[in-house]
């Protein structure tokens, strides 16, 4: 019975656990560094597009308010 549990436990401790720890802490380190320059530029572009879309939506709402007052 003991060897039945010991074998998978040894395999886990030798192969799975170290790989798991390495990948875990590597991902934590990457998250800790923040956004890269490319990601920051993409974020700025998306924010700019969102502001433009917000202005368009307000314009469309004004048009709908004047042409169809009960559209909401």
DSSP string, 37-49: HHHHHHHHHHHHH
Domains identified in the chain, total number: 2
Please indicate, yes or no, whether residues 20 and 43 belong to a single structural domain of this protein.
Answer: no
pTM over 0.85: no
Do 41 and 67 fall into the same domain?
yes
Q: What is the extent of the structural domain holding 25?
A: 1-34
Q: Which residue would you say has higher pLDDT here, 1 or 65?
A: 65
Asked whether residue 52 falls in the same domain as residue 65, the answer is yes
Query: Is residue 30 domain-shared with residue 47, that is, in the same domain?
Result: no
* Pair 50, 18 in one domain: no
Average pLDDT over residues 6-11: 87
Whether residue 14 is found in the same domain as residue 43: no
Type and span of the H or E element at 19? helix 17-32
Percentages helix, strand, coil for the chain, rounded to the nearest 5? 85, 0, 15
Across 19-42, average pLDDT: 84
Average pLDDT over residues 27-54: 87
* Neighbouring residues of 64: CB distance < 8 A, sequence distance ≥ 6: 71
Quickly tell me which residue has 């436990």 as its tokens. Answer: 9
């Amino acid at each position: 019975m003991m060897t039945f549990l010991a074998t998978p436990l040894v395999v886990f401790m030798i192969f799975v656990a170290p790989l798991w720890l390495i990948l875990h802490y590597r991902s934590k380190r990457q998250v800790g560094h923040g956004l890269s320059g490319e990601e920051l530029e993409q974020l700025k572009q998306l924010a700019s597009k969102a502001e433009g879309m917000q202005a368009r939506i307000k314009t469309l709402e004004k048009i709908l308010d004047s042409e169809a007052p009960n559209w909401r």
